[in-house]
Amino acid sequence: MGKHLRIFWFLILCNSAGFFTLCAILAYVAYNHSGHTGFNPYHALTVFVPIGFMGLISLLISSHSQFHQWLSVLAILIGFFGVLLLIYLDQSNTLLRYEVWIDRGMP
């Protein structure tokens, strides 16, 4: 398998993982009306940050076709918007770990 084909499938995998993680978080937020959860939402950073970095590295190092460049930019955007979503959910008290929820004085 050629190097370009491996990078292509890796970017497809990264983008898919990021997209499905975003969808899972948004679905959880839509069905969780309490505002708190048992898990730390910031654990999703282990998905979004590497995806963003891999997209950036792929964009800067590789000189592939325009489609590879679009996949790289998409990976960067998914990583960026994933991090922004987590920060928004935290700052708006929409989805907090239970202990943080209690510390902030929520009922």
pLDDT at 101: 82
User: In the structure, how many helices (H) and strands (E) does the chain have?
Assistant: 4, 2
CA dihedral 83, 61, 58, 74 (to 10 degrees): 70
For residue range 30-86, list pLDDT tens digits in order: 998 887 888 889 999 999 999 999 999 988 887 667 888 899 999 999 999 999 999
- With a CB cutoff of 8 Å and minimum separation 6, the contacts of 106 are 35, 36, 93, 96
Kindly report the pTM of this predicted structure.
0.87
Domain count, the chain: 1
Q: How many Å apart are CA 30 and CA 104, to the nearest integer?
A: 21
> What is the pLDDT confidence band of residue 1, given thresholds at 50, 70 and 90?
low
pLDDT at 20: 97
pLDDT at 107: 64
Q: How many Å apart are CA 5 and CA 59, to the nearest integer?
A: 15
- Cβ atoms within 10 Å, residue 51: 27
Q: What is the residue whose two structure tokens read 């708190």?
A: 36
Domain range for 25: 3-103
